[in-house]
Amino acid sequence: MRNQVGMLLVLSVPLVTGACLQKDTGHTLYLSPDGAVAWTIDESGAFSDQQDAGQRFAEEQGYIGPALIGAHVAAQGLQALGPDGLVQTQVLRDQRPYHVVTTASFSRVDRALSRMFKDAGVRGTATLEALDHRTTLRIRFDFRKEWPERENAGTAMLKDVDNLSVVITDGKFIAGGGFDVPDRRRAVVSAEWLAAAEAAIEAHQEIELVLSWSVWE
């Protein structure tokens, strides 16, 4: 599902674009049963495909230099969401192709997502509800009106999403409206939902994602 989720939302948010590295970026949300989440951004295989050696060097140093001090785009984006504690950055490879992993923890996944939507100009809401032995995350996107233009760490992080998955740390997923949950431990946005979301954009409608889990068998 390379670049599908981020590109879908980017189509609806006017962004200022520029040169960028070639890299694979995966977002994994490690979800606890109570709704807390550790958000990890894995950027691997990063390199510049600029033909000019000077431009290639400048572009790559513009990426790895800030990463070495935890000031790159992924870290700035997570920091903007108001994490609990410090944003942690691991540079696993400091030579091209680069590999950087960035992680931050949040007490509630819905608040982190809502903050990202607000900062990025996405007309969306995220709510978390616990009932009996089931907890449900509900994400709603509103395409009825044009979304405002944004240029900040949140939009840069959103634009960079290639693959997005949610991993439950305990228990299992028991329902997934818009998600595929093949092994009940990991959920990814389904191809069917992405197609429906594209149709919702064209038709100026609302659409939602729903994910439920339980620690009970």
- Cα–Cα distance between 159 and 141 in angstroms, integer? 16
Tell me if 112 sits within 8 A of 158, measured CB to CB. Answer: no
Nearest to 191 by CA among 163, 157, 211, 155: 163
Tell me if 31 sits within 8 A of 39, measured CB to CB. Answer: no
pTM above 0.85, yes or no: yes
Domain count of the fold of the chain: 1
Going from the C-alpha of 82 to that of each of 18, 43, 118, 154, 161, the distances in angstroms are 27, 21, 13, 12, 19
- Domain membership of residue 76 as a residue range: 4-214
Nearest to 40 by CA among 170, 194, 212, 163: 163
Give, for 114, the enclosing helix (H) or strand (E).
helix 109-120
Nearest to 43 by CA among 107, 90, 108, 105: 90
- Cα–Cα distance between 87 and 122 in angstroms, integer? 23
Q: Tens place of pLDDT for every residue, the chain, 217 residues?
A: 334 455 455 444 444 444 468 998 889 999 999 999 999 999 999 999 988 999 999 999 999 999 999 999 999 999 999 999 999 999 999 999 999 999 999 999 999 999 988 888 888 899 999 988 899 999 999 988 877 777 777 777 777 665 789 999 999 999 889 999 988 999 998 889 888 988 998 899 999 999 999 987 5
- Cα–Cα distance between 143 and 117 in angstroms, integer? 13
Nearest to 41 by CA among 119, 168, 157, 190: 157
